[in-house]
Structure formats: C-alpha cells, structure tokens
A and B are shown apart, each in its own frame.
Chain A
C-alpha cells in the first residue's frame, strides 16, 4: 500500500530534550515536506526537500532541522524543543518538485513540549 508513515504518532517531552520525528514514504517520491498545523493558522511549511541531499527552508524553519540522506526518509529534528513547538506535525511527499502541488500526507504526529 502506498503511504507516508510517521513515528511516533504522539509524543510528550520536556523543554530542551532533543527529539526526532521520522517520516518514510514507499512511493519513490522525490519531493518531501514537513508542516506544522496550529489552530487558526492552518498548515505551515517547515522544511522541504526536492531530492536526496537537497533541502530548503519553508515558512517557519526556526528551531527545526531536517536531513535527506535517503530518498524514502525525511526526519524532522528538534534539537532543543520549546513549548511553542507544541503542535501537530505532518510529513508529506509528492512525485517530484514539479508535482509538489499534489502531496500525500502522513497521519500526523502530535507533539507536546512541557
């Protein structure tokens, strides 16, 4: 089954404790992206990647890191999480940057930072 998976689905952590949210897709997609969803703000893009080893900042990149060492994986790293990063996070992928308007979304990761 074609899908985007994220782990963990739920995470509660404390301020400053480094964490990684994994994202994997099995569709051989070139383009991958991370979003955060906050009430009243919709989805905002954090980082995106057009292909392996090619990443770039989205609209709200501060406090986040990403890497793209393999085509299928695109982890999101919070080196020192803070309470304002409490949010619902989505990973998404699309066939290529040219088709980045049609994205397949993972189920989401709900992160709480206390």
Chain B
C-alpha cells in the first residue's frame, strides 16, 4: 500500500527566509503526489500536484516542489516565507484514494 512520511513535525522559520518541507513516499509505480496547506481554522487547500513530466512543479502562493524518484521524495520549497505561510502542510499520494502524511506545522517568526 502507498504511504507518505513527513519527517519534520514542526519547523520554525524567520520571515523572509527560505523554507523546505520534506516528504518521502512509498509507492510501486509512478505516484500522483500532492501538497496541501491548512491555515488555522481553514480546510485544506491544494498547493500543487505532480503526475508526470517535469520534476519541478510550480504551485500557488509561490511554492514549488521537486520530485526525485531516486530518493522517493517530493519536497516542498519556498524561497522567501511570509508570515501568512504559517500553517500545517500535508503531503499526499494518490492510488485511487488520497493517503496523507502526518503533516508539518510551520511557524514563522518576525
């Protein structure tokens, strides 16, 4: 069965600094991969998705993610974090249903 691991439970980053969130997946075939963001008191919003092709995908809010098959990873990045990026981030893999990682909480300090 497919699964997703997010090794970092909590990350604190300064405003304006870069951010990278790690995601490792376990899946036999080429995975469909996703990053969702959950802002406080809100539902989940899709940031970006990878199906095939270019391994660097661009998403909303200035986020990007890179698929690396050799490392079974799909890490999320943002070059310069804004205070509004404080949220919980979920990586997910799709195999006829979405399977989510445990999430990474991002705190942004001024």
Q: How many A-B residue pairs have CB under 8 A?
A: 49
Q: Tell me the B23-43 residues at the A interface (CB within 8 Å).
A: 32, 34, 36, 41-43
Among B14-22, B58-66, B67-75, B93-101, the stretch in contact with A: B93-101
Q: On chain B, which size bracket covers the interface?
A: 20 to 34
Which of these, B43, B45, B102, contacts A40 with CB under 8 Å?
B102
Known A40-B9, A42-B101; contact A105-B49, beta-carbon cutoff 8 A: no
Q: Which residues of chain A from 63 to 105 have any CB-CB distance to chain B below 8 Å in the complex? A: 90, 92, 100-103, 105
Chain A residues with Cβ below 8 Å from B97 are: 45, 48, 58, 100
In the complex, the answer to whether A4 meets B43 with C-beta atoms within 8 Å is: yes
B94 touches A101 (CB 8 A): yes
Report the bound CA distance from A100 to B46 in whole Å: 13
The answer to whether B32 touches A101, judged by C-beta atoms less than 8 angstroms apart, is yes
Which residues of chain A have C-beta atoms less than 8 A from B36's C-beta?
A: 105
- Hey, which chain A residues are within 8 Å of B6, CB to CB? 42
**Residue B44 at the A interface, CB < 8 A?**
yes
- 15 CB contacts below 8 A, A to B, read A41-B102, A42-B100, A43-B90, A43-B100, A44-B100, A45-B98, A48-B97, A58-B97, A90-B43, A90-B44, A100-B94, A102-B46, A105-B44, A105-B45, A108-B41
List the interface of chain B (C-beta within 8 A of A): 4, 6, 9, 32, 34, 36, 41-46, 49, 90, 94, 96-98, 100-103
